[in-house]
């Protein structure tokens, strides 16, 4: 990535957006309520055609914090994420989607938790991770079996079985060493691919506090898309799990069978043949899993194709997720 911007604030709150001027005020109001004011709000607009630019300009004139607005050609959320890391001026990087919000003490709590990590081991950590609640105040997912834990995304997912939506503040300098895959544009690359790569080298402090308000008021943009539209990112995510995480197989064998099936399913969507699929798997363990999951992957792909054919005949119908 290019040379980082000069650090001037403690937090960069990053919001990617595309034609979401009607929900952005939710983010803005929650940031106006923060008990810690040492942050910037960085909005990366992925080619909106609504009045997003006008709305942001009004807030720039009145916000009690710096609002930075960057308009780019429509390329995809993952491209906006990488652009934000290049532009960020904060010591910590906090992604906050254009239809979400956070509680008033969110940034202050992140900083308190980070400062509670002993300086002698702080270099081993990439950030602080917390829970989310929905718009009705209900916890998203099951409660943590702990109040606080120093761990990483892989341990949390496989050993503790925590798959719910989480949120966090990452050290910008560390995140810049990684990047979401940009070889495909206008697709969806799960941010989990980034966090799982970081987890190979860094820990995070996990806290049970629910600091993000995750709105579940309708189908997401991604879920409205046909499987083939996000096949590239989905294939990449499952390939990384099979390639890097097999040491956790005994903790979550069913999950790994699912990864194998999804890997083949989305490979077929990209017209990647069986030989190439197998060649990209690095060891005998992942190859065996691939063989076991292949029939399920084929069946899922055949179902996807049938759904897509029906959808093309009825273009106004939203496909199932």
pLDDT at position 187, please? 76
DSSP characters over 176-217: TT-----SS-SS---THHHHHHHTTT-EEEEEEEEEEE---S
At 31-62, the pLDDT tens digits run 999 999 999 999 999 999 999 999 999 999 99
Could you give the 3-state DSSP secondary structure of residue 108? helix
Which contacts (CB < 8 Å, 24+ apart) does range 53-61 have?
54/21, 55/21, 55/24, 55/25, 56/24, 59/28
Could you give the 3-state DSSP secondary structure of residue 130? strand
Alpha-carbon distance of 100 to 52, in angstroms, equals 16
Tokens of 77: 């959320």
Q: What is the sign of the dihedral through the CA atoms of 179, 181, 186 and 190?
A: negative
pLDDT 10s digit of each residue in the chain, 321 long? 444 456 789 999 999 999 999 999 999 999 999 999 999 999 999 999 999 999 999 999 999 999 999 999 988 888 999 999 999 999 999 999 999 999 999 999 999 999 999 999 999 999 999 999 999 999 999 999 999 999 999 999 999 999 999 999 999 999 999 987 777 777 777 888 889 999 999 999 999 999 999 998 654 544 456 788 889 999 999 999 999 999 999 999 999 999 999 999 999 999 999 999 999 998 999 999 999 999 999 999 999 999 988 877 765 544 433
Torsion from C-alpha of 65, 69, 75, 79, nearest 10 degrees: -40
pLDDT at position 184, please? 73
- 3 state SS for 305-321: HHHHHHHHHCCCCCCCC
Mean pLDDT over each residue of the chain, to the nearest integer: 91
9-218 topology per CATH? Spore Coat Polysaccharide Biosynthesis Protein SpsA; Chain A (3.90.550)
For residue 310, what are the CA distances in angstroms to 205, 224, 227, 307, 319? 46, 15, 13, 5, 9
At 225-254, the pLDDT tens digits run 678 888 999 999 999 999 999 999 999 999
pLDDT at position 183, please? 74
pLDDT at position 228, please? 85
Largest CA distance in the chain: 62
Could you give the 3-state DSSP secondary structure of residue 259? helix
Q: For tokens 């950030």, what's the residue?
A: 127
pLDDT at position 3, please? 45
Distance between the two ends of the chain, CA-based, in angstroms? 34
User: pTM, whole model, 2 decimals?
Assistant: 0.89
Q: Which residues contact 104 (CB under 8 A, 6 or more apart)?
A: 30, 33, 34, 35
The boundaries of every CATH 3.90.550.10 domain in the chain are 9-218
Tokens of 303: 């179902």
Q: Which helix (DSSP H) or strand (DSSP E) does residue 151 occupy? A: strand 148-151
């Amino acid at each position: 990535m290019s040379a980082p911007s000069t650090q001037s604030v403690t937090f960069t709150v990053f919001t990617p957006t595309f034609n979401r001027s009607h929900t952005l005020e939710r983010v803005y109001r929650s940031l106006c309520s923060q008990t810690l004011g040492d942050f910037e709000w960085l909005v990366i607009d992925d080619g909106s055609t609504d009045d997003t630019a006008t709305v942001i300009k009004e807030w720039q004139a009145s916000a009690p914090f710096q609002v930075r607005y960057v308009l780019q050609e429509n390329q995809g959320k993952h491209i906006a994420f990488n652009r934000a890391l290049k532009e960020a001026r904060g010591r910590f990087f906090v992604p906050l989607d254009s239809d979400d919000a956070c509680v008033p003490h969110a940034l202050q709590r992140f900083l308190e938790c980070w400062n509670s990590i002993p300086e002698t081991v702080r270099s081993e950590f990439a950030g602080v991770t917390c829970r989310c609640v929905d718009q009705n105040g209900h916890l998203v997912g099951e409660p943590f079996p702990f109040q606080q834990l120093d761990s990483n995304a892989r341990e949390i997912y496989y050993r503790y079985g925590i798959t719910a939506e989480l949120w966090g503040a990452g050290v910008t300098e560390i995140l810049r060493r990684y990047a979401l895959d940009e070889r495909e544009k206008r697709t969806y690359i799960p941010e989990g691919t980034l966090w799982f790569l970081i987890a190979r080298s860094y820990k995070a402090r996990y806290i049970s506090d629910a600091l993000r308000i995750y709105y579940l008021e309708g189908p997401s943009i991604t879920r409205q898309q046909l499987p083939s539209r996000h096949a590239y990112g989905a294939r990449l995510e499952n390939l990384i799990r099979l390639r890097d995480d097999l040491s956790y197989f005994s903790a979550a064998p069913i999950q790994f069978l699912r990864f194998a099936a999804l890997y083949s399913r989305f490979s077929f969507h990209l017209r990647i043949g069986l030989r190439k699929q197998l060649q990209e798997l690095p060891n005998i363990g992942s190859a065996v899993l691939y063989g076991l999951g292949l029939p399920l992957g084929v069946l899922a792909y055949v179902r996807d194709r049938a759904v897509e054919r029906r959808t093309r005949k009825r273009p106004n119908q939203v496909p199932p997720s």
